Amino acid sequence: MRKRALIALVALVCLVATGCGAGGSEAGTLVVQSGNPAANLSNIDLYVAQKEGFFDDEGLDVSVRYSNGATLAAQLVASGKADVASITFEPIVDAYSKGVKGSFFWAKYKQGIYSVQVPENSPIRSFADLKGKTVGVASLTSSAIPFTKINLRRAGVPTDSVTFQPTGLGGPAKTAVQSGDVQALALWSDPYSTLAQDGLRLRTVEQGGVGRPGGGGYFASDKVLDGDKRSDLEKYAKALAKADAFIAKNPQKAIEDYWAVNPSAKSVGMQSTLTSLKAVLGDFVTSPPYGVFDPDEVESYVKQYADVQGVDDPPSVDQLITNDVAEQADRSVR
How far does CA 314 lie from the centroid of its chain?
19
Give the pLDDT band (50/70/90) at residue 279.
confident
Domain count, the chain: 2
In DSSP notation, 87-105 reads: EESHHHHHHGGGT--EEEE
Backbone angles phi, psi at 259, to 5 degrees: -65, -30
Check which CATH number belongs to the domain holding 156 and give it. Answer: 3.40.190.10
Residue 326 pLDDT greater than 70, yes or no = yes
- The average pLDDT across 201-224 equals 81
**Under the phi-then-psi rule, with left for phi > 0, alpha for psi from -120 to 50, and beta for the rest, what region is 21?**
left
Please tell me the least confidently modeled range out of 175-179, 207-211, 276-280, 315-319: 207-211
- More confident: 70 or 27: 70
80 & 156 share domain: no
Element (H, E) at 106: strand 102-107
- Which pLDDT belongs to residue 26? 60
- Which pLDDT belongs to residue 233? 95
What CA–CA distances, in Å, run from 115 to 129, 146, 188, 191?
15, 11, 6, 11
Tell me the C-alpha distance between 290 and 327, whole Å: 8
81 & 13 share domain: yes
Domain span holding position 173: 114-204
325 & 234 share domain: yes
Residue 243 pLDDT greater than 90, yes or no = yes
Backbone angles phi, psi at 258, to 5 degrees: -65, -45
Cα four-point dihedral sign 88, 90, 93, 95: negative
Give the pLDDT band (50/70/90) at residue 6.
very low
**Assigned domain for 76 exists:** yes
Tell me the one-letter amino acid at 134.
T
Helices (H), 250-316: 251-261, 270-281, 295-309
**Assigned domain for 209 exists:** no
291 & 321 share domain: yes
- Contact partners, residue 96, CB within 8 Å, separation at least 6: 313, 314, 315, 319, 320
Where does a domain end: 161, 176, 204? 204
131 & 271 share domain: no
Give the pLDDT band (50/70/90) at residue 274.
very high
Cα four-point dihedral sign 263, 265, 270, 275: negative
Give the pLDDT band (50/70/90) at residue 332.
confident
- More confident: 309 or 110: 309
283 & 314 share domain: yes
Ranges 25-39, 41-55, 287-301, most confident: 41-55
Residue 48 pLDDT greater than 50, yes or no = yes
Percent of the chain with pLDDT over 70: 90
- Which pLDDT belongs to residue 83? 97
Give the pLDDT band (50/70/90) at residue 280.
confident
Give the pLDDT band (50/70/90) at residue 162.
very high
Tell me the C-alpha distance between 121 and 202, whole Å: 9
Q: What value does the mean pLDDT of the chain take?
A: 87
